[in-house]
Amino acid sequence: MFSFLLRKEKWFVSHSYEDTPYLAHLREALPKRIVPVIFPPIDVPVTEFVSDRILDAVEDCKCLVFMDTAVSKRSFWVPLEIEHAKRQKRTVYRFDPSLRRISEDVSPPLELPIYMRGRGIFTQPLIEA
């Protein structure tokens, strides 16, 4: 009767790999119908353009949940993934590992110096010529 309540949804999990020990707690906090999308560690410099795979995965998910830790907030990828999800009108949630609780993130977009134009991403120069 209410099959829409049981429909599986994919949520992108955004986290620093240093926060990997908290992933089990995050999975326990997710509703049973959620399929977490977790990328394996990517061992390349951030200057290499691997973000298309990651951004495509964010776009393929209904929501994004990020690990709300100091380490994840300092990472290059987590803020980028959050920004992209918000720009794609995805619901964004935060996971607090100390409380083991998921809550909606209603903060505005981050307005990172890395931003979207069409489908590409580029960085504004730090020093102008």
101 against 108, higher pLDDT: 101
The two tokens of residue 114 are: 């890395």
126 against 70, higher pLDDT: 70
CA neighbours closer than 13 Å in the CB half-sphere of residue 101? 5
In angstroms, the Cα distances linking 27 to 10, 13, 17, 20, 21 are 12, 10, 15, 11, 11
Average confidence score pLDDT of the chain: 82
Query: What mean pLDDT is predicted for residues 89-114?
Result: 89
Percent of the chain with pLDDT over 70: 74
Do 66 and 14 touch, CB atoms closer than 8 A?
yes
Greatest alpha-carbon pair distance for the chain in Å reads 63
Q: pLDDT per residue over 53-100, tens digit each?
A: 888 899 999 999 999 999 999 998 899 899 989 989 999 999 999 999
Per-residue pLDDT, 122: 46
For the chain, domains (ranges, CATH) are 3-123 (3.40.50)
**H helices, E strands: number in the chain:** 4, 7
Task: Residue 60: name the closest of 7, 12, 117 by CA.
Answer: 12
In angstroms, the Cα distances linking 10 to 22, 35, 108 are 19, 5, 23
Determine the Cα–Cα distance for residues 102 and 115; give it in Å rounded to an integer.
27
Per-residue pLDDT, 113: 67
